[in-house]
């Protein structure tokens, strides 16, 4: 009974946190990020909905449509980057664009992109991320230094840190060369801050405020089932959302909040690591000082159909041939969550 009451209390807080007319949720400042399979999903969502997304941060991801609906090609993309044919992949994008399966590719050349690849990554080869950077340049982005104050569209790469396969921070996690769950390593690199700073510059927002303090009480669950989240598409029925104090109903009238979506990697689901990943990316700390609502969609392990034994987001086609475009089950799911949040300022509550 106590457990049930606690769950109901969490659900109530999650709903109440969004109630009221203030703050305003901006529809023009959507940013996304992800690691590994989540990095691949971030790229896919960015390409599919490039008219909505303004910036993307990717750690250990792959170029768009690298797997070409084939799990064996996906494995090669991760370990043998010399097979990646970016002109051909961009050609596939043009075909999707022609039939309306992705937004106009020309939108991407207005984005801010920050990429990270650890020199010790044994899961996704460094060359694969180099190929992703090259794909962005083919799409019209120029390269800029990570610390640059340049406000023009650009792709910025952090490729010189001796990190293993992990989301990197400068305040939490295992040793930088550690490989294993929860795939959070302290490498002395504030990736969340580097990415958001570049995004804020590009979007013309006031300078990104320094990191605030994470408040566990501001991390809530929401119902993914309300948006079609189910085992049939390897999505959990529950997701996480971080609502900073500045974006609660009690915020001063006229407050504008932004939306950020972060996609976890394989073996980082709530079923595998609980809330460890979503609590320690560094994004929540910046959310507090910069009025950002952070959505953490949750995939789930699926042992049979679809076959997704590590709870990865789909970047090779286990949900169907449309996995990388607007009609893909997980992309459509994420888009529905973002749309609801921006249109109503609320998400349906969800408990354990």
- Residues annotated as catalytic (active site), given as ranges: 36, 121, 165
258 — alpha (psi -120 to 50), left (phi > 0) or beta? beta
Give the β-pairing of 154-158 and 112-116.
Answer: parallel
Radius of gyration in angstroms for the set of CA atoms belonging to the chain, rounded to a whole number? 19
d(CA 330, CA 335): 9
For helices 86-98 and 126-138, give the axis angle rounded to 10 degrees.
Answer: 50
H helices of 17-159, where?
37-48, 71-79, 86-98, 126-138
DSSP β-bridge partners for residue 262: 33
Phi, psi of 109 (to 5 degrees): -70, 0
Q: Which tokens sit at 85?
A: 């044919």
Count Cβ atoms within 10 A of the Cβ of residue 256 and give its class: 0-12 exposed, 13-18 middle, 19 or more buried: middle
């Amino acid at each position: 009974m106590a457990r049930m009451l606690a769950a109901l209390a969490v659900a109530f807080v999650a709903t109440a946190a969004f109630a009221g007319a203030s703050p305003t949720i901006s529809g023009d400042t959507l940013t996304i990020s992800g690691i590994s399979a989540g990095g691949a999903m971030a790229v896919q969502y960015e390409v599919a909905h490039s008219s909505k997304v303004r910036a993307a941060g990717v750690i250990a991801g792959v170029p768009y449509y690298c797997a070409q609906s084939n799990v064996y090609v996906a494995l090669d993309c991760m370990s043998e980057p010399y097979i990646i044919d970016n002109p051909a992949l961009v050609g596939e994008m043009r075909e999707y664009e022609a039939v309306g399966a992705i937004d106009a590719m020309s939108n991407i050349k207005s984005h801010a992109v920050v990429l990270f690849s650890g020199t010790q990554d044994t899961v996704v080869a460094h060359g694969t991320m180099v190929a992703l950077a090259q794909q962005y340049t083919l799409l019209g982005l120029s390269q800029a230094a990570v610390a640059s104050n340049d406000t023009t569209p650009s792709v910025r790469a952090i490729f010189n840190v001796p990190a293993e396969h992990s989301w990197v921070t400068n305040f939490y996690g295992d040793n930088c060369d550690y490989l294993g769950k929860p795939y959070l390593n302290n490498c002395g690199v504030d990736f969340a801050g580097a990415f958001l700073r570049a995004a804020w510059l590009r979007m013309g927002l006031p300078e990104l405020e320094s990191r605030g303090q994470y408040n566990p009480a501001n991390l809530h669950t929401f119902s993914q089932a309300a948006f079609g989240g189910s085992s049939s598409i390897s999505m959990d029925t529950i997701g996480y959302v971080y609502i900073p104090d500045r974006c609660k109903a009690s915020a001063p009238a006229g407050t504008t909040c932004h939306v950020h979506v972060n996609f976890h990697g394989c073996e980082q689901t709530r079923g595998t690591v609980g809330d460890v990943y979503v609590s320690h990316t560094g994004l929540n700390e910046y959310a507090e000082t910069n009025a950002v609502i952070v959505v953490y969609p949750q995939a789930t392990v699926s042992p049979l159909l679809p076959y997704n034994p590590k709870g990865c987001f789909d970047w090779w086609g286990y949900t169907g041939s449309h996995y990388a475009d607007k009609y893909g089950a997980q992309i459509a799911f994420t888009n529905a969550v973002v749309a609801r949040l921006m249109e109503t300022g609320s998400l349906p509550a969800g408990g354990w």
